[in-house]
Structures are given as structure tokens and as C-alpha cells.
Structure 1
């Protein structure tokens, strides 16, 4: 496989998968109003989606490391389509939680970063790896920029349930793109040579303080981005903003995230990643404070969205490149899955607490304040991360694996 083919197919898959996901906040009000559900019930389903993605991502990562990305991507695409159809036709909150939550969460585990980054780690040299991960993360950002307005238009034109059926068809395009990521050495029947077993890799990772610190920091990333992504449209609607302000704001997050993630991937080749990560989390808290202090207007929303977008997924290539640098690429999808599980616990709490505390207090103030405090925490825990490859007594250093 050429580098161009890997980046094109991998980027397109992430564009579709992440693009669809980032628009789910647009469905909160139409679904809850038509079905007579509370915001907490919708939030719980999306929160379950995130925790399902996180839990299953660990095992999907193991499968991708052993079987290759191709088979995992096909299974994930089919689950994505089924989940979106189920989401459109759910008669109760329980069925909605099982489809929008469990099924789509499993689908996202098999069609997003952990699986794609495993391919990048195995097929792209170390000298270009952080850059390639930044390019792929930028593709996910483009998906948000492109897909969120499309999803908003589909809801307006077709109503919310038919819009979900159209997205189900789009999700199946991932099957075709997966053929461009068929890796040599997988599926041929030949056993791949492995320096470590899964158990050995896990023991090594969890006994490495830097891995634990990266995992803690990634929790905060999930909390912040999912709270904003799901609840921002309703937050703005509560203040009398027009619906298109929310759509444009989420699109701006995606647009500026293209530049932020690409720049982060580039800088990760030249500067210590721990300092970049600490800076990103610090700036998120600062930007949020300024947004809450400024008078709310469409322009303040757009400036906040553009600035936050620049910081949105820029943690992704830096975190995953650091994991590859520490432990090598042999078990990268699995280890990335464990770190991402922490991200998804944060996502669960960000989405669910947004709905729960809103229903409790009638506003989102407490969640905003919590997001600011967590950003400061993440900035601090990333500073002690050491990026040198772990040294194994009976194997080559991780960075040459």
C-alpha cells in the first residue's frame, strides 16, 4: 500500500464515521419534542454510545491488531448502518438506547481512530507517523465541518427519522473504502511474528507512569468535546439563538479543527508532545472562561467555536503518537483502545451530566465550570509524561518495533 492510498482511504473513513457522529446533537430537540422524552433520556443514550465505544474499542483493537483493519472496518460499517436505522425507528427510550447507544458505539469502535491509527502505525515510518496521524485527525475534522450542515439540512428537508435513514446508506460507503486498507500479512494464513503477548503488553503499559498519565488526560478530552458537541445546540436555543447558529458553530469547530489537528501532528514531530498536550488543555479552559464572561451573541459563539475547534481533536494525534513512541506499533490499536476507553468515560459523563444537571438546575452552568476545572487538571498531568521508548530486557526498544 502506498502512503497516499492509506491516507486517502483512512481519512475518508474517519470523515464519514466522525462526521455522522458529530451531528447527533442536532437530533436532541426534534426527537425529544416529537417523542415526548426528556433531554436526560436522549443524553443517556448518547452517553451509552460513548461508553460502548470505549469498552468495545479495547476488544476491537485486539481484533484489528491480530486480523488487520479490513475485516473490522466492514463489520463496523454494517453495525453503523443498523444502528442508525434502529435510531430512526425506536419507539421507546430503551430501544433508542440500545440502537443509538450500544450498536452505534460498537460501530464507532470499529471505524475510527484506534483501527485506522493501527494501520498508520504499521505502514508509515516513525519519521512521518505523527504527521500522518494529524492528517487523519484533520479528515475527521473535515467530516464534522462538512457533515454537520448536511445533517441539519437533511433534518429540515426530510424530517429527523428519514434523515437518519439517509445517513445509514452513507455509512455503508465505509465497506468500499475498507478495501483500500487491506494490509499485507493479514488474512494470508501466515502467523505474524510478535515480540509480546497481549498480557505482556498490558502489564508493560499499565506499569508505565506516562501511559497512566496520558489515560487520565484523555478522560478530560472526552468530557469537554462531547458536552459541547451534544449540548451546545440546546444551550444556544435556550438563549433564543436561531437553529442555524448552532449548525454553523459546530461546522466552525470542524473547519478550524482541520488546521488544529494538522498543525498538532506536524508540531508533534518537532516538539515534546507533553508540552503541546498541556498547552492544548490549558487553552481550552481559558477559552471557555472567556466565552462565559463575554456577552452571548452569534459572533461570540462563532469565535468560541473557531477557537475551540482549533483545539478540538488536536490531542488525538499527539496522544496516539506518544503511545506508539513508548511501546511500538505491535499492539497499538489495543493500547490506543484502552486510552480511548478513558476518553469515552469522560464522554459519557460530559453528555449525561449535561442533561442531568440541566434537568436539575435549569441551566448548564455547573457543567461549564466542571469542564474548566478538568482542563486545568489535564494540563498538569500531561507535563510529567516521558516520551522515550520503554526499554525491554529481552527485546528491541519499543520505537523500533
Structure 2
């Protein structure tokens, strides 16, 4: 018999865990210049670390999602908290580019795979009635967004007062709070409810990747990763570079407040994405989000740069930022059910993280080669238009496995 957790308990503990894991991660862009300048590295080194972090996160998310579905999410979350602490401390002590890339990139990538949306959404999916599922996912995503708003100013203060090395040590201590939160989310006698055909993991993976709608969904998710990670990692140095022409945007507080505003307005975006996702076809909302991102980025580049236009850009991008997350996971749950939700969401997220790798790394490489981020901004606009188009044909109908078996 499956033990059901109280939904309020799931949302509070899961939301707080995502608040820490995603909130701290969103502030890594603030460490770009302090870390590279302190160690005499090029921006490509930091970009490679963040790119590998996202790629490792995405590549291992299906594995940890599958283990979470099978053995219980809290065990994976506890592992994630330990790895997060080790990765941050290792990055603080790194004296070579390789050591930094391994700690900030690989170890933290594994930690994030164990402690973010896909694993938490598996718990939500198993303990939330279908009619409230996307709303509940929106709540969890909104709390993660609030973490960005909360943690980015804190990380900037830690950098200003203690320097990058000690700031990372303090963050390593802070993430130990993830351990009791993961324990709260343990599902006693974990056994996800199923009906009809008792599908295996191999069958679930094969079924998902044969579905055209799943293919289109993960293609759009690639674009999401590219855009948000490029902006999250490179917005602060972009503003610093542009201060030669627009001096008012060069102060670190402008970038800090802008990234914090992304998190604050993303609270609204993710919450209302969850609300609308219960009433409007979710793939239409996704198409609107991706298309709107391209418009907002284009306007940001065309308008004269100032703190005000930067803050407006951040607020609008915040509304559109991670509002894709509850919608994408909600579509996966609606089509395929919740038995393998964490794993299948993990495969979708892998596509997201390949995009994240490209956004982070291309930003650093093309800047070092051209001295400008212009090419990557243009790529981000073009990809947003593509993602809007590929989401339109998606069908959200649940698979009728009994009918498929009868035909077989």
C-alpha cells in the first residue's frame, strides 16, 4: 500500500528544497568575473564549468529520476545535498582551472540532478490529484524562483564582504539545510500507483521517444535551457562590458538587482503558468512563452541601455523564465502518467541542459573570439521563434495503453 504524503507538506518541503538548490545555482553568474579575475583565467574557463554543470545535470537526471521513481525521492535528495556541499567547497579551494571545472561543473551537476525539479515533481505527481497537479508544480517552481530572488542578493553580499572563496564556503554550509528537507519528503512504503499494463522502464522510454509530441516538447525545452543559462551566466559581464558606452549599467548592483528581479517576477510567471495550465492547453502557453522571449530580448538589444531598461528586461524575462517547467512536466505527466514521471521528465530535462551547455559555453567562447555577445543574443532570438513554432502541433492526450495492447 502506498503511503500518501500531505500535499501541503510536499509543497512546503519540496518548495524550500528547490528554493535552496535553484536559488544558489542561479547566482553562479555573479561569480564569473570575481573568480576568473582572482585566478587569472579567461571567461571560457568559468563558462566551461557552468556548461559542464548543466550538461552533467541533464545527462544524469534520467538516471537519478529513475532511481527516485523506483526507490524513493528522499534518498536521492539526501545524496544531492551531500554532493552540493562537496562541490561548493571544492570550488572554493580550487587553484587550477581543471579542479574548478570538476567541482563547479561535474560534482555540482550531479548535485543538481538529485535535488531539483524532476525529482521533486515526482513526489508531487504521486501525492497530488491530477486536477491540481500542474498548479502544484507551479507552486514548487514559484518557490524555486523566489529562491533566486532571495539568494542572488545574499550571494552578492557574500562576494562583496568575504570574497569568492569564502562566499562559496558559506554557501556550502548553507546547503546542508537540504538534508532535513529531503528527509521530510520520504514516502513510506514507496510504490507508485499504476493501473492497466504494468509497464517496464525500457517500455516507458521507448514509448516516450516514439511519440511525436514528446520529441517536439524536448526540442522546445532545449531552447529554454539555451536562453536562461546564457542570460543567467553572461548578463552580469555583458552589462560590465557595455558600461564603456553606458556607464550607469556597469555597477555590480545593477546586475545583481536585475537577476534578482528575474527571480521575483518568475514567482508570478511560474505560479500563473500552473494556474493557466489547468484551463488552457499547455503547449499553447509554451509557444506564447518562447515567442515572447524573442520579442523581449530583441527589444532589450534595440533600446538604449540603462538601469531602467535592464530592470524592465529582467522583469519581463522573469515572467517567462521558468514558467516552462510546470507546463512541460505537466504535459509529460498528462501523456504518460506518473509512474515514471521523474525519469521521463529527466529525459526532457536532458535536452534542456544540452541547450544550457550551449548557451553557457558559446557565450564564453564567442566572447573570447569576437569581444562581443551579439552573435549569441541573435541565436537566442532565432531559437525562441523556432521553439514557439514546434510547440504548436503538440497533442496532450493521454496514451491509451490498453487500446494499444488490444491492437497488438
Q: Is the 8 A contact 1:185 1:192 kept in 2?
A: no
Distance 1:358 1:58 in 2: 32
Distance 2:357 2:283 in 1: 25
Distance 1:66 1:274 in 2: 29
Per-residue CA deviation, residues 111-151 of structure 1 (Å, 9 max, x unaligned), is 00010000000000000000000000001100000000000
Distance 2:403 2:317 in 1: 44
Of 156, 160, 163, 1:156 maps to 160
Q: Secondary structure at the match of 2:68?
A: helix
Of 257, 261, 277, 1:268 maps to 277
- Once the two structures are TM-superposed, the CA of residue 165 in structure 1 deviates from its matched residue by 0.5
Check 1:395–1:78 CA distance in 2 against 1; reply closer, same or farther (3 A cut). Answer: farther
Within a 5 Å distance, the mapping from 1:296-315 to structure 2 comes to 296-315=305-324
Instruction: Find the counterpart in structure 2 of residue 373 from structure 1.
Output: 382
Instruction: Find the counterpart in structure 2 of residue 195 from structure 1.
Output: 198
**What are the ranges of 5 or more consecutive residues in structure 2 without an aligned counterpart?**
244-249
Instruction: Find the counterpart in structure 2 of residue 235 from structure 1.
Output: 238
Distance 2:33 2:396 in 1: 44
Per-residue CA deviation, residues 297-347 of structure 1 (Å, 9 max, x unaligned), is 000000000000000000000000000000000000000000000000000
Of 314, 336, 339, 1:330 maps to 339
Q: Is the 8 A contact 2:277 2:327 kept in 1?
A: yes
Distance 2:349 2:88 in 1: 23
Pair 1:85 & 2:84 matched: no
TM-score under structure 1 length normalisation: 0.96
Pair 1:207 & 2:216 matched: no
Instruction: Find the counterpart in structure 1 of residue 246 from structure 2.
Output: none
Distance 1:269 1:395 in 2: 27
Pair 1:41 & 2:45 matched: yes
Q: Is the 8 A contact 1:195 1:395 kept in 2?
A: no
Of 179, 187, 194, 1:175 maps to 179
- Once the two structures are TM-superposed, the CA of residue 239 in structure 1 deviates from its matched residue by 1.6
Q: Secondary structure at the match of 1:196?
A: coil
Q: Secondary structure at the match of 1:110?
A: helix
Q: Is the 8 A contact 1:47 1:101 kept in 2?
A: yes
Pair 1:32 & 2:41 matched: no
Distance 2:92 2:303 in 1: 38
Of 21, 46, 57, 2:25 maps to 21
After superposing on structure 2, the runs of 4+ consecutive aligned residues of structure 1 that deviate more than 6 Å are 190-194
Q: Is the 8 A contact 2:74 2:185 kept in 1?
A: yes
Q: Secondary structure at the match of 1:175?
A: helix
Corresponding residue pairs, total: 394
- Once the two structures are TM-superposed, the CA of residue 381 in structure 1 deviates from its matched residue by 0.4
- Once the two structures are TM-superposed, the CA of residue 394 in structure 1 deviates from its matched residue by 6.5
Distance 1:192 1:284 in 2: 38
Per-residue CA deviation, residues 154-197 of structure 1 (Å, 9 max, x unaligned), is 011111100000100111101011122111322xxx89878211
Of 361, 374, 377, 2:370 maps to 361
